[in-house]
Amino acid sequence: MQKPWLQSYPPGVPPEIDFGDFHSIRDILETSCARFPDLPAFSCLGREMSYRELDRLSTDFGAWLQNGAGLAKGARIAFMMPNLLQYPVAIFGALRAGLIGVNCNPLYTARELEHQLNDSGAEAIVILENFAHTLEEAIGRTKVKTVVVARVGDLLGFPKGLVANLVVRHVKKAVPAFSLPAAVPFRRALAAGRSMRLAPPPLDLEDIAFLQYTGGTTGVSKGAMLTHGNLVGNLLQVSTWVGTGLEDGRETVITALPLYHIFALTGNCLTFMKFGAKNVLIPNPRDLPAFVAELGRHRFTAITGVNTLFNALLHTPGFGSLDFSHLKMTLGGGMAVQRAVAERWMEVTKTPLVEAYGLTETSPGACINPLVKGATYNGTAGLPLPSTVVSIRDDDGNPLPVGQTGEICIAGPQVMKGYWNRPDETAKVMFPDGAFRTGDIGAMDERGYVRIVDRKKDMILVSGFNVYPNEVEDVVAMMPGVLEVCAVAAPDDKSGEVVRLVIVRKDPALTREAVLEHCRRNLTGYKIPKIVEFWKELPKTNVGKVLRREVKNAPVHGT
């Protein structure tokens, strides 16, 4: 098929990637640890961990998982932690031992955790003690035999680690009581692993590295089987694209999104590891004053996030006074980047907010905008990455001409192997030619740029006309008095559905009439909201994505 996007590729970016000698994530890790042993790999809570130390600690943990816990290649191990130094040590130890990682959101309820542990067949879990009470409630109904409990201060050294643990437990009272009698402390597992031998099993690109669970917004949460080939392929695709502007051993990336989320796992942890970069882990990005203070301690060259995170930073005192002179790249994904946020980011930081697009099932990167000097917001998700084929198809799977709107479909080395133990669900999203049905509606222009219109399931049908929430939200977000906005469908006797708008105000004086007048100037009649509400805050996932379903299901109030 034709690939119009290749004509728009920036200089130095090849149309295809080369896996070279990389056959697994373990190869990426070991290569970087050998190349950059004395450089910092991760930084968190004022403590830096070098690549040499990461190599040693992950080897120790992997050896303990094999010998102490008796886990064999292919066994599933869950991780339930925020961004702490223990996370990369644990996941790389597990991957070196040939295990399959299962990332769990620390904010899961016992029911959600039980489902994921049972669905994946996890035999072990590494969990921060703050969330161990949830595991206690669920573990009796799972097959988990090995529990490793970490504490915030485990890798911070003495006395900082001791102080951190005392503060978390006794000052912040952030560790609810729990009882897991057979649990092994994280530090004890590391210590035991030092006297054990890691026997690295053979790994290749087809071996599963992670079961990465989808959010479950369309039904039961499913585990996307992401192979070593999927993740190595995607990090090579992304590093090939961004590498034209980055230097080995000289980059510092801010990692505010949790590493258990695929965006941060691939985009930050794995991709920047290949460059020998330092990942600055932010355990709690919702504490915006502390987050801004941490940014002030680093000469950061890259930062990734979602639109709501960038918007929140722009409205946090002190952010505009930071030193952005070293910043080379700001990457937004996970949700649409709004024009108002992108333009304000450029104004404050003098660096473009570059939008990328992907899904859990694509490891996640599929499209990205060029990282070129003078780039401005263009409202698109960018161009397909090297070795990626993006097609726009109708409901029957037939490719549509350039410019027409249909379902975005993706093929490439980053596309998942399928859903774990769910061949029926896999068949629903995979075409025979290997293209993945994203469920997103979009179009491609003659230059190859992909424009996301919206999710199929979020589309609002007003008297037979399609209204895409992203468009309405983007228009309303341009108003100076709007901090955040969410558009959803509401039932209506006459038109079937109408647009319901929920706004978090920046200006308390903002009125419904002002919003509607702005919409009348910028939107066709059927797209204008019939319901306008003002809320104190919008419900969000732990990575900051607005939960449209919760907004949609909430009773109308505050109009």
Range list of β-strands (E), 359-481:
365-368, 383-384, 389-393, 406-411, 436-444, 450-455, 460-462, 465-467
Indicate whether 430 belongs to any domain: yes
Query: Residue 492 has what pLDDT?
Result: 85
Q: What's the confidence (pLDDT) of residue 107?
A: 85
Structure tokens at 248: 């080995």
Contact 503, 536 (CB under 8 A): no
In angstroms, the CA 529 to CA 488 distance is 9
304: enclosing H helix or E strand: strand 302-305
At 215 the pLDDT is: 57
Q: Are 553 and 493 in contact (CB under 8 A)?
A: no
* Coil vs helix vs strand at 185: strand
> Which of 248-262, 271-285, 336-350, 445-459 is the least confident region?
445-459
- Report in angstroms the alpha-carbon separations of 140 from 108, 293, 470: 17, 42, 43
Mean pLDDT over residues 360-365, rounded?
96
Structure tokens at 400: 């549509």
Domain end call among 404, 438, 455: 455
Q: What is the pLDDT of residues 406-441, one digit of tens each?
A: 999 999 999 999 999 999 999 999 999 999 999 999
The predicted model gives 391-395 an average pLDDT of 94
CATH number of the CATH domain containing 484: 3.30.300.30
pLDDT at 2: 87
Is 58 in a helix, a strand, or coil? Answer: helix
Task: Tell me if 374 is assigned to some domain.
Answer: no
Q: What is the pLDDT of residue 464?
A: 67
Residues 333, 262 within the same domain: yes
Q: Which two tokens stand for residue 420?
A: 């774990």
Question: How would DSSP label each residue in 77-120?
Answer: EEEE--S-THHHHHHHHHHHTT-EEEE--TT--HHHHHHHHHHH
Q: What is the mean pLDDT of the chain?
A: 94
408 in the same domain as 521: no
Residue 451 confidence class, pLDDT cut points 50, 70, 90: very high
Residues 362 and 429 in one domain: no
Q: Domain boundary at 455, 483, 514, which? A: 455
Structural domain including 497 reads 459-553
Domain boundary among 429, 455, 481: 455
Mean pLDDT of 130-152: 97
Task: Report the candidate in 339, 283, 284 with the shortest Cα–Cα distance to residue 311.
Answer: 339
3-class SS of residue 476: helix
The CATH number that applies at residue 215 is: 3.40.50.12780
Q: Is residue 56 part of a domain?
A: yes
Using one digit for the tens of pLDDT, what is the confidence trace for 198-241?
A: 999 999 999 999 999 985 434 467 999 999 999 999 999 999 99
Instruction: Please tell me whether residue 200 adopts helix, strand or coil conformation.
Output: coil
How far is 336 from 319, CA to CA, in rounded Å?
22
**Cα–Cα distance, 224 to 211 (Å, whole number):** 5
Pairwise CA distance, residues 301 & 315, whole Å: 21
Same domain, 236 and 294: yes
Q: Is residue 559 part of a domain?
A: no
What is the token pair recorded at 346? 């450029």
Give the type of residue at 146.
T
Percentage of the chain beyond pLDDT 70 is 98
Buried b or exposed e, range 415-446, using 16+ CB within 10 angstroms: bbbbbbebeebbeebbeeeebbbbbbbbbbee
Tell whether 443 and 464 lie within a shared domain: no
**Which residues are paired to 494 by β-bridges?**
none
Task: Please list, in sequence order, all residues whose beta carbon lies within 8 angstroms of the beta carbon of residue 171, skipping any fewer than 6 positions away.
Answer: none
**Rounded CA separation 100/91 (Å):** 9
Q: Is the pLDDT of residue 339 over 60?
A: yes
Query: Distance (Å, rounded) from C-alpha 458 to C-alpha 3?
Result: 29
CB 419 within 8 A of CB 431: no
The answer to whether residue 155 is domain-embedded is yes
Residues 153, 173, single domain; the answer is yes
**Are residues 111 and 77 part of one domain?**
yes
Q: How many domains does the chain have?
A: 3
Report, as an integer, the average pLDDT of 368-384: 91
In terms of residues, how long is the chain?
A: 559
pLDDT at 216: 44
- The answer to whether residues 547 and 432 belong to one domain is no
Query: Considering the domain boundaries, does residue 172 fall inside one?
Result: yes
183-194 average pLDDT score: 98
Shared domain check, 426 and 286? no
pLDDT digits (tens, 9 = 90+) for 112-123: 899 999 999 999
Residue 217: predicted pLDDT: 37
State whether 148 and 192 are in the same domain.
yes
Please indicate, yes or no, if residue 188 is contained in any of the structural domains. yes
pLDDT at 132: 98
Q: How many CA atoms lie within 13 A of 540 on its CB side?
A: 19
Query: For the segment 464-505, what is each residue's pLDDT rounded down to a tens digit?
Result: 677 878 889 989 999 999 999 999 999 988 778 899 999 999
- Same-domain pairing of 42 and 58: yes
pLDDT for position 220? 64
- Same domain (yes/no): 207, 194: yes
The whole-angstrom separation of Cα 506 and Cα 484 is 8
Preceding amide of 364 cis, omega within 30: yes
The reported pLDDT for the residue numbered 288 is 96
Q: What is the CATH number of the domain that holds 422?
A: 2.30.38.10
Dist. CA 533–CA 503, nearest whole Å: 6
What pLDDT, in 10s, does the model give residues 39-77?
999 999 999 999 999 999 999 999 999 999 999 999 999
Let me know if residue 305 belongs to a domain. Answer: yes
